[in-house]
Amino acid sequence: MECYQFTDNQFITSDVDTATLRCIPFDQLETVASENGWPSTMITEVLNAKNDAYVERYRDHMLFSLTIKNHTQLEKNEELVFIKHAQSALLFYDETLRTPQDYIEIINYVYSQIGDVDDANLLIPYALTRYDLLTDRTFLRDLENTILELELSLTREPKNPEESILSLRKTLSIYKHHYMSLIDLFEDITDDYRELLTLEAARDYQRILNKLNRLYKYTTMLGEYVSQINDRYRAQIDLNLNKTMKTFTILSAVFLPLTLIVGWYGMNFQGMPELESKYGYLYVIILSISILIGSLLYIRHRGFWD
């Protein structure tokens, strides 16, 4: 467990007695709770809060649940649980992904940009989310370029566009759900807990909420873009199949009369003059070639062979 206190608009390392913020790894939760006499319900609250982003108000504290994304490895997203008491706060984290000093540096960096901070602990969820969103627009723009390249590659018949389309849809679905959860979280803060916020803090939370709404709309637009590409790819597959069926239909139409001739003269009935004629073989050849050329000219004239 690492302890910090807020001094001169930043968090600095401190001892347990003067600490206003304590950072505790999830795997040390039960040990720390036992040492401090925390109720078992608090352990349950923290562990259950890891599943999604939300805020909940209890009798003597507020609980926030956040997710910090990893753009390159989505399976390594960081789950954070933050509990704010009247004069102190607890930040629970996964120590396998990041150290508490990393989070403190992020918080101090954001606080240095917004100026004087009245309630440092209450703005920690804002600071972590604001820093997390710094690269989101760039990431989504790169994703849009990837989608555009995929659309252009459809004309070159990519080897496996379905795999790329499914991967993009999965990624966008994850981000869409992430933004939607954060929007719900910050709407609850700005609507239900406005009396706890200073005027400037309320403005900060409203600004981050507006940005989340824009990112959500951008992600939704990209999802629709991918769906259009998927529909275009399916249409292209159907078109190629129709062309193949058209080719087989033309071949069947051309060779069907020839098949009739073969069957007709293969019956070997007595009294068929062509079988005994000196020029019967030549006659059948000329007839077959004439039917073949005539069929092709007719198909081309009617525009069936384009």
The Cα angle at residue 134 between residues 131 and 138, in degrees rounded to 5: 160
Tell me what pLDDT residue 210 has. 92
22-43 pLDDT, tens digit per residue, is: 898 888 888 888 877 777 777 7
124/92 Cα distance (integer angstroms) = 12
74/167 Cα distance (integer angstroms) = 12
What is the token pair recorded at 212?
């989340």
* pTM of the complete model beyond 0.95: no
Asked if 20 contacts 5 with a C-beta cutoff of 8 angstroms, the reply is: yes
Q: What are phi and psi of 25, to 5 degrees?
A: -65, 150
Cβ contacts of 113 within 8 Å, gap of 6 or more: none
User: Following CA atoms 72, 24, 190, 51 in sequence, which dihedral angle do they give, to the nearest 10 degrees?
Assistant: 60
Cβ contacts of 264 within 8 Å, gap of 6 or more: none
3-state SS of 280-303 is: HHHHHHHHHHHHHHHHHHHHHHCC
152-191 pLDDT, tens digit per residue, is: 877 776 566 788 888 888 888 888 888 888 888 888 888 7
31/7 Cα distance (integer angstroms) = 29
232 in helix, strand or coil?
helix
Length reported for the chain: 306
Tell me what pLDDT residue 216 has. 92
State which residues of the chain have pLDDT below 70: 51, 74-75, 157-160, 192-194, 274-275, 304-306
226-239 pLDDT, tens digit per residue, is: 888 888 777 777 77
Tell me what pLDDT residue 306 has. 61
Tell me what pLDDT residue 2 has. 87
What DSSP designation does 68 have? Answer: E
14/26 Cα distance (integer angstroms) = 21
- Rounded to a whole number of angstroms, the distance between the first and last alpha carbons of the chain is 75
Signed CA dihedral, 203, 204, 207, 208: sign only: negative
Tell me what pLDDT residue 159 has. 65
Closest by CA to 11, choosing from 81, 103, 104, is 104
